[in-house]
Structure 1
Amino acid sequence: MHESFSDHPCRTNFPWNRDKLIGPKPPLKAKEIWSIRVRLQVAHRIRDLALFDLALDSKLRACDLVSLRVDDVALNGRIRSRATVMQRKTGRPVQFEITEQTREAVGRWLEKPDLRKGEPLFPSRINRARPMTPRQYARLLGSWLRAIGLDPLAYGTHSLRRTKGSMIYRRTGNLRAVQLLLGHTKIESTVRYLGIDVDDALPIAEQVEI
């Protein structure tokens, strides 16, 4: 089965996607990424830009992304270039890179004086001692997508989780690397998750001469 948001152990008593279209959600294209990024920059939405960039770099499930703490990504006031978190779904650690662009975005967000070590990186606006919920994150993503003319029903938080992994696979053909980056325990899960088929694999094979 495809991994979906409703599979998450952090869900509430009813599925977040009740009454919504469900199924595999496509990754974002490079031009769509830049369109969202520019709009967030122009609107000075510092938190949203940090969340968006970190979602792409980390490739984390929504419940793991919103659960990040300040010290998961920062050490002595400096943003880490790599981070490790424990996945809720698998109970296994996964590492991810934090690129320079994301470090700058997260660094600007951490300039807020009320963001301290050990506290949620993206706190709820209702209770700052708790992180925002996956549902709140999904609503934010919907607003970003609508802002660039995309239908939020056609995408989901897993679109951001898939985006960089899909790009890495298409550029390198290294499925094992993508498996490790996504924190999958089985390579078959990565194949299904990326939606890889013969049409994807053949162009990669054609680049290799023996």
Structure 2
Amino acid sequence: MNDQRLIELFLDMMSAERGAAKNTLEAYRRDLDDMSLRLSARGKTFDRTQTRDLEACLAEMAKEGLAPSTSARRLSATKRFFKFLLADGYRTDDPARPLSGPKQGRSLPKVLSEADVDALFDAAGELEGNKGVRCRVLLEVLYAGGLRVSELVSLPLNAISKQEGAIFVTGKGNKERLVPLTPPALEAIAAWLDVREDTLPKAKPGLLAKAQRYLFPSTSAREGHLTREQFARILKDLAVAAGLDPKKVSPHVLRHAFATHLLANGADLRSVQALLGHADISTTQIYTHVLEERLKTLVETAHPLARS
């Protein structure tokens, strides 16, 4: 069986059994396509390759100067792929199992200060009309709930639980979690619901049927809801209006800010893990390192002995 057919079967499994998101599937496809091309240059295919062939591909990546994080991601995709081939009987061995990825330091996430976040909210408060209402609710829900941008823009209209004062969020692996919201976020949602009908794509019946299902409908997106790219542009414009460097502001940076500010104000790590929807607490622990860095800087700049 050729490589492309095996990749398609793997992606079908990841979608059906693991609930992998569209962007995750596309990332797997890119990484496996790259590995397939490298093996093909050596006259190899996925069903006939050996460990030494995969090692040669990794060495080639290093020689090309690929970032260790990129090589590690491609190896991770390859390892998962060969586990699938072994489990489904397309191979009788796993040539990727002995491989280890390049060592890489774990970079700390970029974080906005609480003053920076306040500046974003102040700038959003200056916007007029329905777009201003939408911008404020997007910002409130993202920062109050720490959602991933894909979770935010695709929120169904029925995700809101007024009785609970929360929203139901479907995250990675189709796992659902209940995210409580702040009173300002709930007020922003109520204000948005008052004008949301006016933003629906009335002239496009087919798109209207899709858009009606979502909290944040779009008149142009094929999916029927606001896209990640559209929201990223909204946030960049807001950063400029707030006097912040737009390169340092993104939906994911606001998610980082949510987690870091919670921990800085006394929240426990397990609670933050549940709110973020992290399967493993080690993923959440990166935010404790951010706090450690901030405390270290504080001591070095503010302590009397450090100044002397």
TM over 0.5, shorter chain: yes
Aligned to 2:124: 40
Matched, 1:28 2:122: no
Count of matched residue pairs:
183
Are the counterparts in 2 of residues 53 and 102 from structure 1 also a CA contact under 8 Å? yes
SS of the counterpart of 2:285? helix
Aligned to 1:58: 145
Look at both structures and tell me which one has the larger radius of gyration over its CA atoms.
2
Give the deviation of 1:26 after TM superposition: 2.0
Q: More relative contact order in 1 or in 2 (CA 8 Å, sep 6+)?
A: 1
Taking a change above 3 Å as real, the CA distance of residues 37 and 179 of structure 1, as seen in their structure-2 partners, is same
SS of the counterpart of 1:95? strand
Aligned to 1:107: 190
SS of the counterpart of 2:195? coil
SS of the counterpart of 1:130? coil
Cα RMSD (Å): 3.0
Are the counterparts in 2 of residues 123 and 129 from structure 1 also a CA contact under 8 Å? no
Taking a change above 3 Å as real, the CA distance of residues 139 and 114 of structure 1, as seen in their structure-2 partners, is same
Give the deviation of 1:154 after TM superposition: 2.1
Give the deviation of 1:54 after TM superposition: 0.6
Where does the alignment leave 5 or more consecutive residues of structure 2 unmatched? Answer: 1-19, 28-106, 201-210, 297-308
Cα separation, 1, equivalents of 2:116 and 2:145 = 18
Are the counterparts in 2 of residues 59 and 182 from structure 1 also a CA contact under 8 Å? yes
Cα separation, 2, equivalents of 1:49 and 1:137 = 12
Q: Structure 2-normalised TM-score?
A: 0.52
Match for 2:226 among 120, 124, 132?
132
Give the deviation of 1:40 after TM superposition: 1.6
Are the counterparts in 2 of residues 58 and 98 from structure 1 also a CA contact under 8 Å? yes
Cα separation, 1, equivalents of 2:277 and 2:165 = 18
If each structure's helix is expressed as a fraction of its own residues, which one has the higher value?
Answer: 2
Match for 2:21 among 9, 23, 26?
9
Match for 2:285 among 160, 181, 191?
191
SS of the counterpart of 1:83? strand
Aligned to 1:163: 257
Q: Could you tell me which amino acid in structure 1 is paired with residue 197 of structure 2?
A: D
Taking a change above 3 Å as real, the CA distance of residues 81 and 199 of structure 1, as seen in their structure-2 partners, is same
Taking a change above 3 Å as real, the CA distance of residues 34 and 199 of structure 1, as seen in their structure-2 partners, is closer
Taking a change above 3 Å as real, the CA distance of residues 69 and 79 of structure 1, as seen in their structure-2 partners, is farther
Where does the alignment leave 5 or more consecutive residues of structure 1 unmatched? Answer: 1-7, 15-22, 203-210
